[in-house]
């Protein structure tokens, strides 16, 4: 019984022309050999399985060939070529840097470099996975790599060029190997299948090439696996079954369902796919790729970007003609968002199902609502409707409107206080308003507006309109209030200040107004700057309190505290100063440890 050799080894290229997918690089190497312009160090870098080590071996074999052919290939007949083919050549040395990455290994290599070749012109040292060398080994290798003997050539191979020291890169000619294209991979697999007398379907080879992701070694390994599974009869169905790949037909059916806006059918089809063991993330990524291929198929200039067989390409072209470009853009974005959120989602199946529902409704006309499971338009609508009071309206209608406006203002005030996280102070039980009582008149002479425009909430014109529509001064009654009510609405005003006044609002929250008589209250501050600010703010504060406490004669008095008065500390620094006055040891501890207030 013959020893079985895997296809990746059995059909490994032995000449430059047999290397798949690296035409430009092999041509460059052949020209360098023909013109006798060989560098002393090369770096072959690129993904796995694209031919780096294979090209290094062919290059080493060709430069030592005693009778090279006219096209730059080795003759395979001379003693050097025979020794290489029989793996007994002393001119080619391969070193695996993954397991020989120490300084001692490099020193041993340097000692071998001094010995000239017995047959041929050059000794070639192929160091595979060179990025695995330690920093010390790289440094020990630098001098020899820069100025080796004339008979020594180094070929470094790696999949991770970014891990190699720049000093090494600067001493090498760098060759970047590309991923092998799907069509090139398919052609090579067809060649292998013909040599092995294996029956294959073109669509099956397409799936294998896509699964290999540009690596010929991976493609040949998958091919051997499928051949064993199918007993040398490789079909499309056997490939997708063995590799657990979702069939094209599912995606074509799903897009047809989207175009019909059939949510039920989309949900059932997804359930069928999940029951076959396919992961939701792979499914949604496959759907996104299918939609991308449909978009590519809509234009004759880009249809060549499709890496599928001609029969499948015809299906894409036919379905793309029935899909609107806007529909494809929208569904691709939905699938992409689903892929982004898939890992963080706790209910992954629901996320995929919601995406399918939105895709199935992508062609429906937009509606201003939440029907059909779609997101409504973001249109802000007024919550409260203001009823206009006509001049010829009855008195009863006016009273109803006033009551509605009062209830609306009270509810909005409560919500604002809750949003701004104001202190939880119980609301003062004010006397109930009589059925026919009206809001008091607020005249400019009584309130004395401040010149700060950012704090003014209404204009003089608005006040005059409010006066004409809603206020009858003769019926106004002033209510009696206490210090508790005053303190509540004082803090209510502080919470209504804008964000740029947040510091002063915090200061007001720490001030407790003192009621001196029925309508006069006093505010004690700790310095003249605060006194000046409070005096500028006094008209607005008085206006606010007059409205909330239903009394037109409320007056505020501001003064600076005396030396003996205890003023509340507002900042961390002020609090520490008050604490240190009571306990001087705090100052000593601060100086001893070198502490600073944050």
Domain CATH number, residue 45? 3.40.50.300
Do residues 329 and 430 both lie within one domain?
A: no
CATH number at residue 368: 1.20.272.10
208 located within any domain: yes
CATH number at residue 197: 1.10.8.60
Do residues 18 and 144 both lie within one domain?
A: yes
Cα→Cα distances 186→191, 232, 309, 391, Å:
9, 17, 10, 87
409 located within any domain: no
204, 227, 242: which is the final residue of a domain?
Answer: 242
State the Cα–Cα distance between residues 324 and 294, nearest whole angstrom: 10
518 located within any domain: yes
pLDDT of residue 475: 60
**Residues near 575 by beta carbon (within 8 Å), at least 6 away in sequence:** 569
Residue 222 CB neighbours (<10 A):
20
Do residues 484 and 431 both lie within one domain?
A: yes
State the Cα–Cα distance between residues 302 and 252, nearest whole angstrom: 20
Do residues 31 and 162 both lie within one domain?
A: yes
State the Cα–Cα distance between residues 84 and 60, nearest whole angstrom: 9
373, 408, 433: which is the final residue of a domain?
Answer: 373
301 located within any domain: yes
Domain count, the chain: 4
Do residues 96 and 171 both lie within one domain?
A: yes
Confidence of residue 65 (pLDDT cuts 50, 70, 90): confident
Of residues 98 and 417, more confidence is placed in 98
Do residues 310 and 454 both lie within one domain?
A: no
**pLDDT (tens digit, 9 = 90+) per residue, 503-524?**
788 888 888 888 888 889 988 8
Q: Structure pTM?
A: 0.56
132 located within any domain: yes
Do residues 431 and 476 both lie within one domain?
A: yes
Do residues 29 and 120 both lie within one domain?
A: yes
Do residues 111 and 55 both lie within one domain?
A: yes
Do residues 33 and 166 both lie within one domain?
A: yes
Do residues 66 and 187 both lie within one domain?
A: no
Look at 48-62, 103-117, 314-328, 357-371 and tell me which has the smallest mean pLDDT. 357-371
Residue 528 has pLDDT above 50, yes or no: yes
Mean pLDDT, residues 475-497 taken together = 84
- The alpha carbon dihedral of 426, 430, 434, 440 has a sign of negative
598 located within any domain: no
531 located within any domain: yes
Burial of 151 (0-12, 13-18, 19+ CB in 10 A): middle
Based on C-alpha coordinates, what's the Rg of the chain? 43
Range of the domain at 458: 420-560
Burial of 590 (0-12, 13-18, 19+ CB in 10 A): middle
176, 196, 221: which is the final residue of a domain?
Answer: 176
217 located within any domain: yes
Do residues 137 and 198 both lie within one domain?
A: no
Residue 449 has pLDDT above 60, yes or no: no
pLDDT of residue 370: 43
Residue 446 has pLDDT above 80, yes or no: no
**pLDDT (tens digit, 9 = 90+) per residue, 363-373?**
887 644 444 44
């Amino acid at each position: 019984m013959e020893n079985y050799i895997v296809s990746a080894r059995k059909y490994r290229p032995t000449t430059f022309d047999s290397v798949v997918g690296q035409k430009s690089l092999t041509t460059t190497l052949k020209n360098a050999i023909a013109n006798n312009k060989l560098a002393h160090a090369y770096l072959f870098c690129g993904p796995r399985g694209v031919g780096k080590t294979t090209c290094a071996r062919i290059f080493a074999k060709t430069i030592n060939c005693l009778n090279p052919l006219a096209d730059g290939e080795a003759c395979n007949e001379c003693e050097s070529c025979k020794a290489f083919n029989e793996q007994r050549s002393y001119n080619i040395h391969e070193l695996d840097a993954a397991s020989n990455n120490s300084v001692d290994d490099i020193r041993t290599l340097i000692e071998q470099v001094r010995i000239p070749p017995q047959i041929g012109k050059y000794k070639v040292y192929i160091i595979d996975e060179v990025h695995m060398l330690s920093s010390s080994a790289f440094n020990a290798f630098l001098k020899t790599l820069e100025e080796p003997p004339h008979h020594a050539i180094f070929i470094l191979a790696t999949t991770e060029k970014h891990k190699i020291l720049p000093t090494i890169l600067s001493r090498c000619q760098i060759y970047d190997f590309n991923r092998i294209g799907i069509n090139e991979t398919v052609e090579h697999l067809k060649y292998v299948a013909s040599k092995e007398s294996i029956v294959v379907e073109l669509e099956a080879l397409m799936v294998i090439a896509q699964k290999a992701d540009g690596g010929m070694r991976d493609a040949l390994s998958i091919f051997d696996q499928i051949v064993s599974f199918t007993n040398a009869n490789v079909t499309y169905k056997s490939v997708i079954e063995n590799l657990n790949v979702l069939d094209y037909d599912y995606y074509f059916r799903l897009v047809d369902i989207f175009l019909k806006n059939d949510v039920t059918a989309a949900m059932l089809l997804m359930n069928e796919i999940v029951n076959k063991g396919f992961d939701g993330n792979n499914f949604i990524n496959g759907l996104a790729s299918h939609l991308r291929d449909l978009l590519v198929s809509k234009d004759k200039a880009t249809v060549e970007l499709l890496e599928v067989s001609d029969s499948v390409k015809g299906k894409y072209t036919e379905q793309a003609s029935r899909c609107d470009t806007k529909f494809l853009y929208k569904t691709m974005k939905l699938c992409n968002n689903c892929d982004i959120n898939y890992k963080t989602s706790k209910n992954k199946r629901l996320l995929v199902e919601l995406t399918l529902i939105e895709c199935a409704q992508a062609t429906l006309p937009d509606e201003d609502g939440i029907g059909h499971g779609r997101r409504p338009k973001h249109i802000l609508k007024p919550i409260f409707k203001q009823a206009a009071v006509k001049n010829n309206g009855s008195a009863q209608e006016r009273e109803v409107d006033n009551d509605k406006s009062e209830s609306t203002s009270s509810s909005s005030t409560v919500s604002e206080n809750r949003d701004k996280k104001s202190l939880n102070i119980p609301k003062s039980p004010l006397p109930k308003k009589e059925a026919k009582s009206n809001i008091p008149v607020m005249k400019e002479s009584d309130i004395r507006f401040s010149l700060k425009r950012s704090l003014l909430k209404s204009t003089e014109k608005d006040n005059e309109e409010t006066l004409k529509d809603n206020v009858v001064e003769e019926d106004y009654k002033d209510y009696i209030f206490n210090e508790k009510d005053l303190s509540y609405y004082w803090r209510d005003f502080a919470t209504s200040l804008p964000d740029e006044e947040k510091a002063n609002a915090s200061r007001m929250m720490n001030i407790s107004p003192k009621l001196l008589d029925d309508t006069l209250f006093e505010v004690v501050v700790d310095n003249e700057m605060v006194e000046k600010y409070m005096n500028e703010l006094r008209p607005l504060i008085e206006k606010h309190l007059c409205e909330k406490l239903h009394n037109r004669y409320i007056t505020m008095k501001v003064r600076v505290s005396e030396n003996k008065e205890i003023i509340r500390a507002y900042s961390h620094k002020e609090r520490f100063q008050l604490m240190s006055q009571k306990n001087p040891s705090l100052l000593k501890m601060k100086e001893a440890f070198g502490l600073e207030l944050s």
